[in-house]
Amino acid sequence: MEFLDPASFAVRDKAGPMRDLLPHDRPALVLAPMQDVTDLPFMRVLARRGAPDWFVTEYFRVHPDSRLNRYILRSIVENETGRPVFAQMIGRDLTSLMRTAKELVKYPTAGIDLNLGCPAPIVCRKDAGGGLLRNPEKVNELLGTLREAIPGRFTVKTRIGYTTADEFPKLLEIFRSHAIDGLTIHGRTVVERYQTPVHPDCVKTAVAAMACPVIANGNVVDAETGLRYLKETGAAGLMVGRGAIRNPWIFRQLRAAFDESEAPAPTYRDLWEYVIELYEEIARETVRLVPDAHVQRMKKTLAYISHGLEGDFEYDMRRAKTPEEFHEICRRHLDSGEPLPARPPVGSKLFCGFEALVG
């Protein structure tokens, strides 16, 4: 594995309000906000295997009739991982976004993040998330007004355009024109969703242009892909999403790569422990637990965890209906000391294009 010189990621000269969050001797590591995944139970379970430098909540949906989601808010007020948490908002109504931001800063957040990257069709149809990138003038208005209204850290998570990367220069000029404190870039367009390799050149351009730290996001599935993304972009850090669901040890593995220490090498049995711990943590937080429904909830997460493992674990798990079946399938397929595969299979439909960052 190719190691990188931590000094090459020195961003303290433009860290500003992010200075006390960014590590001094290596790139920052951040867990991506993933709706219905990165909640309080997931943060707890992940942190026990190596916490990121900070978390970002699932997005708070913001509209004229919205109120703060109390469950997502618990990720901030009840977080005992010792890591800061940014509160993310998604929406397009400026008055509502300002109201929500002012409510959120009353809580112990590390800052407020605006989602300009969600590619979900239902979100984009409402001109929110990634859908806002079709209207740069609206993005400019939102950023300018929110920057004035938010007294603490204000960061943005974006994609490189809605349809093509040709849209990115104009968006980048808008980001440059406002004193945002951090910019996280998922290196794909909204239309590309999760189906292509990322575009490191766009992230690299932003790193050179922005006065704030830029975090690279997308296609980081293991330490090697993370190191390559950093090398190709010069970003101040990495945000990891689906790769952290599949491999909750990824932040420890990346830290080991930075300081050239021994990285954890999890086994199938370690994965079994992770799955059961997540099952139990989510169940504990479910107000009205229906056992069979809980299995269906877990199967959505297991789709990323089981993908590409040897044998029929993925096939069998899709057909599990009861807790008894769920636990038996886990025992049958994961009770082994064999090492887990380091990354998903090339050609994966859930982790598309990561091979462009390998080798």
pLDDT for the residue 310: 86
Alpha-carbon distance 87 to 65, whole Å? Answer: 19
Closest CA to 282 of 88, 31, 39: 39
Are the C-beta atoms of 25 and 6 separated by less than 8 Å? Answer: yes
Alpha-carbon distance 98 to 142, whole Å? Answer: 9
pLDDT for the residue 308: 86
User: Which CATH code fits 10-259?
Assistant: 3.20.20.70
The two three-digit tokens of residue 37, written as one number? 């995944």
pLDDT for the residue 7: 44
Written as one string, the DSSP assignment of 124-150 is HTTT-GGGGGG-HHHHHHHHHHHHHH-
The CA-based angle 104-109-171, given to 5 degrees, is 80
The two three-digit tokens of residue 222, written as one number? 């293991």
Please write the tens of the pLDDT for every residue from 212-235.
999 999 999 999 999 999 999 999
Alpha-carbon distance 155 to 331, whole Å? Answer: 43
pLDDT for the residue 70: 96
* Ranges of the chain with pLDDT below 70: 1-13, 359
Alpha-carbon distance 165 to 168, whole Å? Answer: 5
Strands 85-90, 111-116: pairing is parallel
pLDDT for the residue 15: 83
pLDDT for the residue 1: 52
pLDDT for the residue 6: 43
Domain edges within the chain? 10-259, 268-334
Closest CA to 55 of 123, 155, 124: 155
